[in-house]
Every structure is written in structure tokens, then in C-alpha cells.
Amino acid sequence: MCGIAALQLRNPLLHSQMGSLLSSMMCQIVDRGPDSAGLAVYDTPGLVSGNTSTLSLLGKEQGLPTAGIAAALENLLPASAGTAVKVVGDTTFVSSAVDTELLAKAVSETLPDSTIIGRGEHVAVMKSVGHPMDIAAEHGLEAMSGSQGLSHTRMATESAVTAGGSHPFSVADDLCLVHNGSFSNHATIRRDLLREGVVFDSDNDTEVGARYIASRLKQGDTLEEALTNLGKVFDGFYTLVVTTADSMAVVRDPIACKPAIIAETDDYVAMASEYRALASLPGIETARIFEPEPGKVYTWSL
């Protein structure tokens, strides 16, 4: 199985409730994937800020105290960049007013064993092993505000139960992907991407999907085109949710093996594996509720 809950808030007045709404959705999909979980939140004050790149690093222990990491990074980055390091739950966040690529390079030099699980100006990514609601609580999801949120509860099938194998996979600036299902030809596509020079962090099939989408976007595809192309190349079962700095997309495989349901109001677009995750959203009684059609790409922009 695996559970997905995603929320895009159209009404800025709801931004302050993003964390509590996403948390209420997430607790209804725990049964679908209780072994590990992950979260992506967009434009959450305290985690990201404008004109500043933020990297999310897997784990709270990086082998150096946060002050030590900050000092080492400051040596590699311009003094005016205001480099900062902080730990929230099981995630280390590094931010600096430089290009994401430059910050990632400095982090790799300072912490060669670290795994970057999120990057960009808008997104913060958190993931870990354990009960999904414990992971959400440790990171303080309930109190977070933001414009979009994405959560995934995992029942691992294709690769090991590790924090690195948890979703979302965020492999390009502000891009996140979560997946319910399994890709059957991911090894072949992984080899093709490796030949293009793409570097992987895990053995996970979903990471191949995320790297493929990032590769297509880099080649000029729109998000919709990238997901249409994914449907032509990838074989297997999938319901995918992809988020970017200002948009959200949902697609199911052409035989609709995995569930998905969407609720849309003037205030938000919410997607979940099951209706019960949407049941407590405000205004759900009058929302437009539908199941996405197989093989059709749906996108919504803020």
C-alpha cells in the first residue's frame, strides 16, 4: 500500500492552518503505511525564507555540532550570505543566500556523508523511520504554516525500510514526488539516467521516477509534459503527486491500480489515497470530490 495526503492552499487565510490540516489528513492514512514517513512543506516560516536557499539533510546527527557545520560552511561561502544551520526533529536544515547548487557543493565538502533530501527556496523536506504521526510530531507539523504540504506514509515493497527510502523524493529545486505503487522497469531507466550522468542517493524505485521528472524538466518539459512522458516510459503501478514551488500535479497509471481522490474548493485542492483523509477538511461538505481518471495528468497552480 502506502498512503498519500497532499494539500495546496489557494486561500492565503488558510496558510496558518497548513500544518494542522495536513496533520489531520495524514493521521487517516497511517494504516496504509506505518513503517516510515515523510513530509514536504512549502513557504513555511522558520524553515525557509525568500531569496535564500535551504537544504534539508537526512538525520539530526551529521557528525559535527550545528555551530561547527555553520562555521565550516561560512568559510566556503560569502560572509554576506548569512549561512545558518538548525535541527528540527530528525532533519538538519542548512540555509544561505546563495545558489542552491553552490550551497549543495559546500555541504558536500563539509559533510561528505550527508544526504540532501530537499532543496530550494520554498520547500523543506523531513523524513524518518517510525510511526508517521510520531515523525510529524517530532518535526512540529501541527504548528507549521505554509502554502502547500505533502505527506507520505510508506509500506516498503521495492527497497528497504530506511529514512532514505522514505518519500518524498526531492531531487531538484522545490520539486517533490511521492508515490503509491511500484515501478517494475526502474532498473532499466536508472541505467539510462546513470549514463546521462544522473547521480542517485538510494536503491528506491521512486527515486528513479523523481530523477526522471527532474531530467525532463531540465530538458524543457512542463510538469504536465514530464508526467505524460513518465507514463510512456515507466511500467508498473502508480499514483503520483508532484509538487513544485507553485504547483501540484496528480497522475495515476493507465489501469488505475492505486487509489486517489481529490477534493477541490475555492480555498484549496486536497488529494489523498482515501476519502477519510479528506473528511475533516473545512468545507468538505460542498467540495467538488472526484477520483482522478487513469492516465490523465491533473495540475493546479497557485
Partner 1 sequence: MVTLIETQTQDYATVTDEVSTLVDLADSPVRDLNQALHGAADGQSWTVENPGGKHSLAVGINAAASVTINGHAGYYAAGMHQKGEVTVNGNAGVGLAENIMSGKVHVKGDASQSAAATGHGGLVVIDGNAGARCGISMKGVDIVVGGNIGHMSAFMAQAGRLVVCGDAGDALGDSIYEARIYVKGTVASLGADCIEKPTKAEHLAELAGLLAAAGRADNPTEFKRYGSARNLYHFSVHNSTSY
Does position 290 interact with partner 1 (CB under 8 A)? The reply is yes
Alpha-carbon distance 140 to 238, whole Å?
29
Contact letters (x/-) for partner 1, 209-248, by CB under 8 A? Answer: ----------------------------------------
For residue 35, CA distances in Å to 62, 136, 160, 222 come to 23, 13, 10, 33
Q: Which long-range contacts (CB under 8 A, 24 or more apart) does 256-262 make?
A: 256/293, 256/294, 256/295, 257/181, 258/180, 258/181, 259/180, 259/291, 260/4, 260/291, 260/292, 261/289, 261/290, 261/291, 262/289, 262/290, 262/291, 262/292, 262/298
Binding residue (CB under 8 A) for partner 1 from 217, 278, 281, 297: 278
Q: What is the closest distance, in whole angstroms, from the C-beta atom of residue 280 to partner 1 in the complex?
A: 7
Binding residue (CB under 8 A) for partner 1 from 88, 156, 233, 256: 256
Specify whether 176 is catalytic.
Answer: no
Nearer to partner 1, 39 or 278 (CB): 278
Positions 14 through 53 that interact with partner 1 (CB under 8 A): 28
Q: What is the closest distance, in whole angstroms, from the C-beta atom of residue 238 to partner 1 in the complex?
A: 15
Alpha-carbon distance 297 to 85, whole Å?
38
Alpha-carbon distance 218 to 196, whole Å?
12
Binding residue (CB under 8 A) for partner 1 from 10, 60, 105, 276: 276
Alpha-carbon distance 121 to 147, whole Å?
13
Q: What is the closest distance, in whole angstroms, from the C-beta atom of residue 146 to partner 1 in the complex?
A: 25
Binding residue (CB under 8 A) for partner 1 from 201, 274, 300, 302: 274
Catalytic pick from 2, 27, 176, 257? 2
Residue owning grid cell 495528468: 297
Q: What is the closest distance, in whole angstroms, from the C-beta atom of residue 256 to partner 1 in the complex?
A: 5
Count of residues touching partner 1 (by CB under 8 A)? 16
Positions 75 through 94 that interact with partner 1 (CB under 8 A): none
Query: Given the rule CB under 8 A, which of 106-114, 129-137, 191-199, 278-286 is the region that contacts partner 1?
Result: 278-286
Per-residue H/E/C for 199-263:
CCCCCCHHHHHHHHHHHHHHCCCCHHHHHHHHHHHCCEEEEEEEECCCEEEEEECCCCCCCCEEE
Does position 279 interact with partner 1 (CB under 8 A)? The reply is yes
Does position 282 interact with partner 1 (CB under 8 A)? The reply is no
Nearer to partner 1, 153 or 243 (CB): 153
Nearer to partner 1, 200 or 275 (CB): 275
Alpha-carbon distance 238 to 116, whole Å?
25
Positions 129 through 188 that interact with partner 1 (CB under 8 A): none
Q: Rounded to the nearest 5°, which phi and psi values hold at 128?
A: -165, 175
Catalytic annotation, residues: 2
Residues that bind partner 1 (CB under 8 A): 28, 255-256, 259, 261, 274-280, 289-291, 294
